[in-house]
Amino acid sequence: MAIISNCNASIIKDAALALKQGHLVAFPTETVYGLGADATNEKAVARIYEVKGRPTDHPLIVHISSMELMDKWASEIPEFAIKLARAFWPGPMTLVLKRTEIAKDFITGGQDTVAIRVPSHTLANQFLKEFESLGGYGVVAPSANRFGKVSPTNSQAVEEELSNFLSENDQILDGGQSQIGIESTIIDCTKDIPIILRPGIITSEMIESFLSIDLTKLDLESNKIMVPGLLEAHYSPNARVILNGIPQPGDGFIALADIPTPTGTVRLASPKDNTGYAYCIYNALRLADSIGIKTVQVIPPVQQGVGIAINNRLIKAAKKISI
């Protein structure tokens, strides 16, 4: 298992074939890198859970090359979901819909719904198309990190996370740095209105203005859907992450560019705006670990627009998982 760079048509074909034969292929998307398996191959999917160290009741997202293939996986697709798909696919949005027969318990964690996404990254799209041309229906791909850890946004980060767990016939495709940097917005489309389960770059304001509706806030208590991204702790580096704390010399420091670096701290990122914040946040957390920083002080952006998704990830990164 090695990183495969300069992915041309023949490399992509080989990768699609490996996937069809039941191997795992990590591939780039515009959000973060995913660890792919044939969504209809129970054994291959079981390996995803093993490699990630992820509990099997946490469902996976099925990736397809085009919204035309949506009804293979989803039934009862409401009008608003079609509108969202037309507006934001290919792109950083995942829709949760009632599942069809081919979406088995081993990808949905036993739920009667399935999560679907059409990524926009060119390499991801070509890879999915190639897989579909071999008779594949869809590719399940969780973020290519160990469970609870920081999602990878480049192929080296995937290698760091998973090389000890992947086998010789698995592959990591290199497609450069993920341009968005945080995971897709997940929208539950099984109720009368869309409900955002995981905030992302496609914001509630964008959805509200596009559909001309008011979105009620997600009631976490009554929401029984298992979403690891909704667990309190997630996206955590080894370093301790502290939000709005008092920086000490030797700490790492992450904040928007207009906030000065406190004396003695190591500046890990200075994004200019929220889009830049999303783009660099996971790399900055990884950088802290790679240079041995023990504590990272973060000034999160304002809770507005994309700032909501960034705060969501930072708050979870600041809590340690205890399992």
Nearer to Mg ion, 143 or 185 (CB): 143
CB of 320 to ligand TXA, least distance (A): 18
Contact region for ligand TXA (CB under 6 A) — 54-62, 82-90, 202-210, 262-270?
Answer: 54-62
Q: What is the closest distance, in whole angstroms, from the C-beta atom of residue 169 to Mg ion in the complex? A: 24
Q: By CB under 5 A, is residue 236 in contact with Mg ion?
A: no
Least distance to Mg ion, CB of residue 142, Å = 5
Residue 192: phi, psi to the nearest 5? Answer: -65, -30
Residue 176: CB atoms within 10 Å: 12
**Coil, strand, or helix at residue 29?**
coil
Query: Is 53 in contact with 147 (CB distance < 8 Å)?
Result: yes
Length of the chain counted residue by residue:
323
Q: Does 236 bind ligand TXA (CB under 6 A)?
A: no
**Positions of E strands within the chain:** 3-4, 25-27, 34-38, 61-63, 74-75, 93-99, 113-117, 139-140, 171-173, 185-188, 195-198, 240-243, 252-254, 266-269, 295-298
Selected from 143, 153, 203, 274, the binder of Mg ion by CB under 5 A is 143
Binds ligand TXA (CB under 6 A): choice among 60, 67, 201, 268: 60
Q: Which of 289, 269, 288 is nearest to 280 (CA)?
A: 269
Site for ligand TXA in 101-160 (CB under 6 A): 108, 111, 113-115, 117, 119, 141-143
Other residues' Cβ atoms within 10 Å of the Cβ of residue 112: 11
Cβ proximity to ligand TXA: between 45 and 255 the closer is 45
Closer to ligand TXA at the Cβ: 34 or 199? 34
Q: How far is the CB of 176 from ligand TXA (least distance, A)?
A: 15
Q: Which helix (H) or strand (E) holds 50?
A: helix 42-52
Contact 245, 255 (CB under 8 A): no
Site size with Mg ion, rule: CB under 5 A: 1
Q: Is 58 in the site for ligand TXA (CB under 6 A)?
A: yes
Of 33, 114, 119, 109, residue with least CA distance to 71 = 114
CA distances from 117 to 54, 91, 92, 138, 292 (A): 20, 8, 8, 10, 36
Stretch 185-224 residues interacting with ligand TXA (CB under 6 A): 186, 197
Q: For Mg ion, which is the closer residue by CB, 12 or 140?
A: 140
Site residues (vs Mg ion, CB under 5 A): 143
Site residues (vs ligand TXA, CB under 6 A): 29, 31-32, 34, 58-61, 94, 96, 108, 111, 113-115, 117, 119, 141-143, 183-184, 186, 197, 225-229
